[in-house]
Amino acid sequence: MNYAVKFATLISLLLLFLGCSKDDSFELNQSEVLLHYDEGFVFNLQGASNVEWSSSDEFVGTIGQNGNFSAKHIGETEVTAKSGSRTFTAIVRVEPYITDIIEPVLKYGVYSETIRNEETREFISEDASQVRFMGQGEREYRVYYNLRNGVVDNSVIVFTPKENLRDELSVFFGERYELIENTAERMTYINKEKTIGINIQATFAVGVHATWVPSSYTVPADNGK
């Protein structure tokens, strides 16, 4: 009787050991992945079946239940693989192709002093309707902050004319914002929070330019002075 109990206990321990050994063999094929916004990666939880996949930030990238990750926008997201009671994680970083265009100061409803304090470009001039800066880098020509009732209403980058500029801007804005319209006349994007829209178009008077327009803003009550 005592021998039978010991034998049963031994078998139970052996099965437990084998079960743990099998779980411990699970391995995610990558713990860190570096991509661009138009690239992908196939994750695999080796040794596991019935894996549930998820991405912590689907604006950065999404993952299918086959482990196929598709990058969307620059940023960082955590990929989680769940099999049974166990979870495994990996970090995906999406880096930009284009880094020599700098977005304007994305503050609206503020007075020009705020922009002049935070803007790193060379100041040109200011009047009641606009604050003007030199563009930086080879792609930017001028940067404008348009004023309405004394506060910043929208911001504009005018680009230096060059070959393939539209394609380059498609990459720059595509890796940062969500595209909602693409026609021969203009491209329109929106930010992750859906609070700022960006219109890219070409006009005879201005040239190729991008305008950042907030959905709303609050005007300071103290007149800013």
Q: Residue 22 has what pLDDT?
A: 44
Q: Residue 23 has what pLDDT?
A: 46
Query: How would DSSP label each residue in 153-165?
Result: EEEEEEEPP-TTH
Between strands 86-94 and 32-35, the pairing is: parallel
Q: Residue 21 has what pLDDT?
A: 43
Q: Residue 17 has what pLDDT?
A: 47
| Residue 7 three-state SS | helix
Rounded Cα distance between 71 and 74, Å, is: 8
Q: Residue 7 has what pLDDT?
A: 52
**Ranges of residues in the chain whose predicted pLDDT is under 70:** 1-24, 222-225
* Global confidence as pTM: 0.84
Q: Residue 141 has what pLDDT?
A: 98
In the chain, the domains with their CATH numbers are 2-94 (2.60.40.1080), 112-214 (no CATH)
